[in-house]
């Protein structure tokens, strides 16, 4: 027989080959690999079948073989099309043609992307949903191998999966990646089932792949917001902790410390109150840009809360250089902004710390908080470096926070009561309940130290509710003893705005049976900066119970006298800082006189707190101030001592 020589070099680099018949009748497996997708093993098997069947002969040549196709067969050569190639292989190897005549009727209009794939991984049928998912026409997919569309990183997986499918296992995947012609990714859930003939031999694969690209896009966005701040695009606290962990590992390996700084935007809420939400957001974005553009190349910045930014300086190896860099950043933040964004209260308190071998991400942030707090207490717009004194302060703060979590359960809180004197009659008229804390190891802890921590821990609702209940109960006890004193109770802004304070007060009044008109709730002046409607509604609920409302520390905030008009307030308390200068400082004296005159015009009672000497007492009485309290009049007392004092019914000042 005559023969025609054909070069059948085998492809082995990625395990797939395509049989293409060129015009010169040469069979070139290597050149057509991407179109037919035959596995290396399948290709070798086909060639072996051809040789064994007498259709092809082979002889060694160089490092490979030259294959000769025997002429005279029923199928003529050359073969020009993919269909001719498929028919040729089917005839030579006995492999059945992969046809599903009713595919279009079954799956053509289905919204689920569906395909028939032959045993060599070639698409034989594709419905419109799959074509749309991949951004192609069905005819552009049919006849092409599966791996053409598979993400390069998933090719090896599919080669392994094919073995499982042939062995009888169906394949189900939550998600799989595919490449569209434009390079974008399409995501799909995968279910692949093997269809078999009557003898159990595999015929083809039925593949269904619901499109989950939109879901993956949403998941990626959610993942992004898990690690990045939505407003500024900077890493958030979660990402910061991860990067700090990496930076600390590098620092220990190379023996080089690095610097970290915390920038706290003071008066954050006031910025938004002044500029509005939209301009406030724009200002924060501009602040973030200034921070990022002023850090060193190997450093990075994160926004860890509404008003806190953290800078990690990987190349900052000395405290002096760290402080210098933070000062430069503060200067950049304070440069003029666009005219619509002129913040009235922009100031920054910065803390800085150098890492050491014992540092952890959490300890660095704790130390930064302590340093920034000291900067804020010292007047803001400054940088404080964490040192040994702050270290001890931070340790005590941690101990206090831990102890406060169980203070209520351990019954460690108690109340003292400071007398409030009627300055005209010079007699005892009421008391102010003052929270105290005694810990078995820490001892007596100052209210100025622990009350802010109570709010920070979110315990103000529980602790404040306890104070209200205990104070009103004590008031009832004194009533039964015939003392009849009024009771002033401090209420924080957070407690007012975030707890069911009215229900707590209502319950305490009901249980005790005391006259609500003798209960005075003292709200700090900062409540006047809150939304008027919210404030009026909440205070109105308290007023409906019959209690009186007093504004504490009046004169220290940003409120104006005019804002008091029409608000449901009964009393004002002049802050002790003005009483200290009363009679000595012209401004303090003028302010005290103005507050008393204004209160009289608005028919509000006035209490002066912090009276420390006879001159202050005499001057306040001359101005017509109704009530007063302070160490000169009486120190806070426990319930028994206060009751004993009240029974004596003394005349002030006491001897």
How far apart, in Å, do the first and last CA atoms of the chain sit?
A: 138
Same domain, yes or no, for 463 and 598?
yes
Residue range 403-409: mean pLDDT, rounded: 93
Give pLDDT, residue 101: 60
pLDDT digits (tens, 9 = 90+) for 264-294: 988 777 777 777 888 888 889 989 999 998 8
Of 306 and 5, the one with more pLDDT: 306
Domain for residue 567, yes or no?
A: yes
The mean predicted confidence, pLDDT, of the chain is 79
Give pLDDT, residue 521: 96
Residue range 5-29: mean pLDDT, rounded: 30
Same domain, yes or no, for 380 and 422?
no
* H-only helix segments in 383-459: 388-404, 447-456
Of 528 and 568, the one with more pLDDT: 568
Give pLDDT, residue 339: 55
Tell me the two tokens of residue 153.
């990183």
pLDDT band for position 42 (cuts 50, 70, 90): very low
Q: What is the C-alpha to C-alpha distance for residues 445 and 438, in angstroms, rounded to an integer?
A: 6
Same domain, yes or no, for 139 and 246?
no
Please, are residues 103 and 116 in contact by the beta-carbon 8 Å criterion?
Answer: yes
Number of domains in the chain: 4
Residue range 608-629: mean pLDDT, rounded: 94
Same domain, yes or no, for 241 and 360?
yes
- Across 15-29, 327-341, 492-506, 611-625, the highest mean pLDDT is recorded for 611-625
Domain for residue 261, yes or no?
A: yes
- Res. 542: pLDDT tops 80: yes
Residue range 627-650: mean pLDDT, rounded: 95
- Res. 88: pLDDT tops 60: no
- Of the candidate ranges 320-329, 383-392, 504-513, 559-568, the one whose mean pLDDT is the lowest: 559-568
| Sequence-distant (≥ 6) Cβ neighbours of residue 537 within 8 angstroms | none
- Please state, in angstroms and as integers, the Cα–Cα distance from residue 446 to each residue in 295, 395, 454, following that order: 40, 16, 12
Angle at 402 between CA 494 and CA 388, to 5 degrees: 100
Domain for residue 531, yes or no?
A: yes
- Across 78-92, 122-136, 333-347, 509-523, the highest mean pLDDT is recorded for 509-523
Residue range 330-346: mean pLDDT, rounded: 71
Q: CB-hemisphere CA count at 13 Å for 644?
A: 5
- Of the candidate ranges 98-112, 189-203, 625-639, the one whose mean pLDDT is the lowest: 98-112
- Across 21-25, 319-323, 642-646, the highest mean pLDDT is recorded for 642-646
Q: φ, ψ for residue 111 (rounded to 5)?
A: -80, -5
| Cα-only R_g, the chain | 41
Same domain, yes or no, for 134 and 187?
yes
- Res. 549: pLDDT tops 90: yes
CATH number for the domain that contains residue 445: 3.20.20.450
- Res. 417: pLDDT tops 90: yes
Q: φ, ψ for residue 294 (rounded to 5)?
A: -110, 5
Residue range 67-91: mean pLDDT, rounded: 45
Range of the domain at 69: 3-93
- Res. 248: pLDDT tops 50: yes
Give pLDDT, residue 55: 53
Give pLDDT, residue 72: 40
Domain for residue 501, yes or no?
A: yes
pLDDT band for position 389 (cuts 50, 70, 90): confident
Domain for residue 19, yes or no?
A: yes
pLDDT digits (tens, 9 = 90+) for 576-606: 989 998 988 888 899 999 999 989 988 999 9
- Please state, in angstroms and as integers, the Cα–Cα distance from residue 573 to each residue in 376, 490, 592, 653, following that order: 26, 12, 11, 20
Residue the block writes with tokens 């012609």: 181
Give pLDDT, residue 646: 95
Residue range 191-220: mean pLDDT, rounded: 82
What would the DSSP string read from start to end of 573-593? EE-HHHHHHTTT-HHHHHHHH
Q: Give residue 513's region: left, alpha or beta (phi > 0; psi -120 to 50).
A: left
Give pLDDT, residue 19: 33
Give pLDDT, residue 216: 81
Residue range 549-566: mean pLDDT, rounded: 70
pLDDT band for position 425 (cuts 50, 70, 90): very high
CATH number for the domain that contains residue 280: 3.30.70.270
Please, are residues 519 and 432 in contact by the beta-carbon 8 Å criterion?
Answer: no
Domain for residue 226, yes or no?
A: no
**Which H/E stretch holds residue 462?**
helix 460-480
Name the DSSP class of 101.
T
Domain for residue 398, yes or no?
A: no
- Which of 65, 93, 121 is the last residue in one of the domains? 93
Name the DSSP class of 94.
-
Name the DSSP class of 21.
B
- Across 118-122, 380-384, 634-638, the highest mean pLDDT is recorded for 634-638
- Which of 27, 59, 93 is the last residue in one of the domains? 93
- Please state, in angstroms and as integers, the Cα–Cα distance from residue 434 to each residue in 372, 417, 467, 526, following that order: 29, 6, 9, 20
Q: Could you tell me which of 411, 413, 449, 455 has the C-alpha nearest to residue 434?
A: 413
Given CA atoms 142, 146, 147, 150 in this order, what sign does their dihedral have? Answer: positive
Neighbours of 361 (CB within 10 A): 19
Confirm whether pTM is higher than 0.85. Answer: no
- Res. 370: pLDDT tops 50: yes
Give pLDDT, residue 64: 47
Give pLDDT, residue 140: 87
Same domain, yes or no, for 200 and 117?
yes
Name the DSSP class of 182.
T
Give pLDDT, residue 276: 81
Of 627 and 179, the one with more pLDDT: 627
- Across 38-47, 209-218, 273-282, 538-547, the highest mean pLDDT is recorded for 538-547
pLDDT band for position 59 (cuts 50, 70, 90): low
Please, are residues 418 and 432 in contact by the beta-carbon 8 Å criterion?
Answer: yes
Domain for residue 516, yes or no?
A: yes
Same domain, yes or no, for 356 and 418?
no
Of 256 and 166, the one with more pLDDT: 256
Same domain, yes or no, for 519 and 584?
yes
Give pLDDT, residue 505: 95
Same domain, yes or no, for 196 and 272?
no
Residue range 307-327: mean pLDDT, rounded: 88
Given CA atoms 58, 59, 61, 64 in this order, what sign does their dihedral have? Answer: positive
What would the DSSP string read from start to end of 596-613? HHHHHHTT-EEEEE---S
Burial of 298 (0-12, 13-18, 19+ CB in 10 A): exposed
Query: Directed axis angle between helix 277-293 and helix 319-333, to 10°?
Result: 140
pLDDT band for position 147 (cuts 50, 70, 90): confident
Give pLDDT, residue 28: 37
| Sequence-distant (≥ 6) Cβ neighbours of residue 605 within 8 angstroms | 570, 571, 572, 599, 626, 627
Q: What percent of the chain has pLDDT over 90?
A: 34
Give pLDDT, residue 280: 84
Residue range 123-142: mean pLDDT, rounded: 88
Residue range 502-520: mean pLDDT, rounded: 95
Of 491 and 6, the one with more pLDDT: 491
- Res. 75: pLDDT tops 50: no
Same domain, yes or no, for 117 and 78?
no
- Res. 516: pLDDT tops 80: yes
Sheet containing 382-385: order of strands:
300-305, 308-313, 259-266, 347-354, 382-385
CATH number for the domain that contains residue 148: 3.30.450.20
Neighbours of 494 (CB within 10 A): 15
- Res. 559: pLDDT tops 70: no
Residue range 352-379: mean pLDDT, rounded: 88
Q: What is the C-alpha to C-alpha distance for residues 606 and 550, in angstroms, rounded to an integer?
A: 9
Tell me the two tokens of residue 425.
């009659």
Q: What is the C-alpha to C-alpha distance for residues 180 and 135, in angstroms, rounded to an integer?
A: 6
- Res. 344: pLDDT tops 80: no
Same domain, yes or no, for 204 and 264?
no
Q: What is the C-alpha to C-alpha distance for residues 122 and 143, in angstroms, rounded to an integer?
A: 6
Strand-strand pairing, 486-491 and 519-524 = parallel
Q: How many residues in the chain? A: 655
* H-only helix segments in 137-236: 138-141, 155-166, 213-227
Residue range 181-188: mean pLDDT, rounded: 84
- Res. 447: pLDDT tops 80: yes
What would the DSSP string read from start to end of 108-154? TT-SS-EEEEETTSBEEEE-HHHHHHHTS-HHHHTTSBGGGTB-GGG
| Sequence-distant (≥ 6) Cβ neighbours of residue 39 within 8 angstroms | 15, 16, 120, 121, 159, 162
Same domain, yes or no, for 451 and 584?
yes
**Strand, coil or helix: 538:** helix
- Res. 111: pLDDT tops 90: no
- Res. 345: pLDDT tops 60: no
pLDDT band for position 18 (cuts 50, 70, 90): very low
Of 611 and 335, the one with more pLDDT: 611
Q: What is the C-alpha to C-alpha distance for residues 225 and 239, in angstroms, rounded to an integer?
A: 10
Residue range 510-523: mean pLDDT, rounded: 95
Tell me the two tokens of residue 585.
């400082």
pLDDT band for position 46 (cuts 50, 70, 90): low
Q: Could you tell me which of 230, 239, 234 has the C-alpha nearest to residue 303?
A: 234
Of 504 and 377, the one with more pLDDT: 504
């Amino acid at each position: 027989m005559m023969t025609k020589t054909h070069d059948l070099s085998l492809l082995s680099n990625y395990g797939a080959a395509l049989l293409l018949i060129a015009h010169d009748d040469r069979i070139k497996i290597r050149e057509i690999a991407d179109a037919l997708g035959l596995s290396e093993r399948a290709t070798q098997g086909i060639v072996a079948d051809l040789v064994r069947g007498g259709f092809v002969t082979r002889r060694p040549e160089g490092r490979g073989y030259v294959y000769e196709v025997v002429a005279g067969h029923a199928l003529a050569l050359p073969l020009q099309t993919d269909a001719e190639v498929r028919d040729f292989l089917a005839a030579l190897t006995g492999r059945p043609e992969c046809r599903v005549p009713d595919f279009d009727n079954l799956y053509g209009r289905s919204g689920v992307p569906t395909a028939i794939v032959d045993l060599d991984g070639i698409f034989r049928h594709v419905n419109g949903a799959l074509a749309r998912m991949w951004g192609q026409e069905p005819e552009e997919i049919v006849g092409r191998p599966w791996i053409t569309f598979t993400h390069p990183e998933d090719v090896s997986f599919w080669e392994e999966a094919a073995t499982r499918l042939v062995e009888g296992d169906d394949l189900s995947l939550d998600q799989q990646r595919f490449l569209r012609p434009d390079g974008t990714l399409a995501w799909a859930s995968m279910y692949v089932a093997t269809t078999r003939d009557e003898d159990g031999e595999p015929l083809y694969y039925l593949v269904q792949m619901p499109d989950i690209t939109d879901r993956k896009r949403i998941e990626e966005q959610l993942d992004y917001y898990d690690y990045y701040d939505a407003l500024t695009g900077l890493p958030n606290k979660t990402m910061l902790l991860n990067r700090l962990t990496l930076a600390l590992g590098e620092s220990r390996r190379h023996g080089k410390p690095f610097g970290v700084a915390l920038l706290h935007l003071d008066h954050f809420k006031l910025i938004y109150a002044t500029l509005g939400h939209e301009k406030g957001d724009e200002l924060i974005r501009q602040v973030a840009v200034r921070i990022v553009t002023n850090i060193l190349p190997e450093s990075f910045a994160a926004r860890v809360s509404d008003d806190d930014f953290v800078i990690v300086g990987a190349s900052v190896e000395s405290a002096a250089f760290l402080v210098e860099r933070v000062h430069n950043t503060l200067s950049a933040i304070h440069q003029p902004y666009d005219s619509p964004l002129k913040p009235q209260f922009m100031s920054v308190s910065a803390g800085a710390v150098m890492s050491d071998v014992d540092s952890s991400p959490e300890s660095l942030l704790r130390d930064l908080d302590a340093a920034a707090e000291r900067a804020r207490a010292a007047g803001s717009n400054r940088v404080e470096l964490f040192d040994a004194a702050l270290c001890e302060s931070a340790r005590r703060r941690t101990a206090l926070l831990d102890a406060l979590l169980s203070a209520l359960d351990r019954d460690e809180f108690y109340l003292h009561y400071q007398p409030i004197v009627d300055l005209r009659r010079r007699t005892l008229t009421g008391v102010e309940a003052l929270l105290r804390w005694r810990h078995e190891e820490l001892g007596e802890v100052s209210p100025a130290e622990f009350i802010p921590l109570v709010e920070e821990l979110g315990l103000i609702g529980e602790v404040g509710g306890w104070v209200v209940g205990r104070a009103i109960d004590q008031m009832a006890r004194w009533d039964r003893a015939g003392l009849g004193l009024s009771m002033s109770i401090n209420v924080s802004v957070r407690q007012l705005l975030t707890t069911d304070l009215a229900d707590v007060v209502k319950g305490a009044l009901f249980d005790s049976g005391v006259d609500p008109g003798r209960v005075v709730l003292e709200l700090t002046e900062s409540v006047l900066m809150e939304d008027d409607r919210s404030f009026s509604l909440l205070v109105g609920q308290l007023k409906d119970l019959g209690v009186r409302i007093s504004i504490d520390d009046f004169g220290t905030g940003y409120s104006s006298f005019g804002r008091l008009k029409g608000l449901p307030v009964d009393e004002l308390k002049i802050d002790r800082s003005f009483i200290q200068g009363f009679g000595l400082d012209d401004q303090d004296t003028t302010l005290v006189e103005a507050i008393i005159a204004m209160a009289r015009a608005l028919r509000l009672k006035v209490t002066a707190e912090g009276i420390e000497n006879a001159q202050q007492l005499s001057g306040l009485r001359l101005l017509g101030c109704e009530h007063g309290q302070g160490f000169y009049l009486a120190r806070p007392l426990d319930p028994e001592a206060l009751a004993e004092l009240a029974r004596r019914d003394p005349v002030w000042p006491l001897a």
